[in-house]
Structure formats: C-alpha cells, structure tokens
Amino acid sequence: MSHGFNTLELAGIYEKQGYFQDAFEIYQALAKESGKKDELENSSEINAGLRRMELALQNQATPEDKALDSSDLPNAEKKIERLLEQWLMLMVLDKRFELIKQVKSKLE
C-alpha cells in the first residue's frame, strides 16, 4: 500500500488496529528516509517497530496456512471488511484525483 504521509504516528495507529502489513510498510519507508538523511532522531523507535511488525506478521495466520472453518469466520469477515475499506478509500482518492486533473486543465 502506498502511503502519502509516512509517520510514526500513522504506523502506530495501524499497528494498534491490527493492520500489521501497513504498519510494517510505513516503518520500512521511515527507515529508508532516516537512512538517507543520516539522522538518528527516531531510528530506535523505527527499528523497534520493524521488529514488532516482523514478529506480528510471522505469527499472523494466513488462509493458506490453515483451512477455513466456522471459528475463522470472524477473521475472514475482518479481512473482507478491511479490503472493502481499502477499496472505498481508493475510490474516493480516484475521484479526488480526477477533480484535481479537471481543475488543473481549466487553469492551463
């Protein structure tokens, strides 16, 4: 997932909500940015976040790892809910992008 604003706060929010892959991607982007800047201001927090997300992702079961039974329905529903949320977010962003393109073409 591409994030326009990669911040420790956003990564923390995703982490608390259980969106470990999204949090991991943000922590990775932050690690790359801090490496380019040669700054260590938040590097320990970023590295700790990366380690936590790696562990969380390793412990997170995937549909391929186990067969879907009735006890997995809440997890499946959560995944579908998350995918729907992401799809709706993409639709909104697409509409905003189209509006920006229209305004830009009118200004030119």
Distance from the first to the final alpha carbon of the chain: 32
**pLDDT for 46-102, tens place per residue?**
999 999 999 999 887 555 554 545 555 677 788 898 899 999 999 999 999 999 999
**pLDDT for 25-48, tens place per residue?**
999 999 888 776 555 567 889 999
Q: Give the residue with greater pLDDT, 17 vs 68.
A: 17
pLDDT attached to residue 72: 59
pTM over 0.85: no
Which among 32, 25, 27 has a CA at the least distance from the CA of 1? 25
φ, ψ of residue 66 in degrees (nearest 5): -150, 155
Half-sphere exposure of 90 (CA within 13 A, CB side): 8
**Contact call for residues 46 and 31 (beta carbons, < 8 A):** yes
Q: Where are the domains of the chain?
A: 1-60, 69-108
pLDDT attached to residue 3: 53
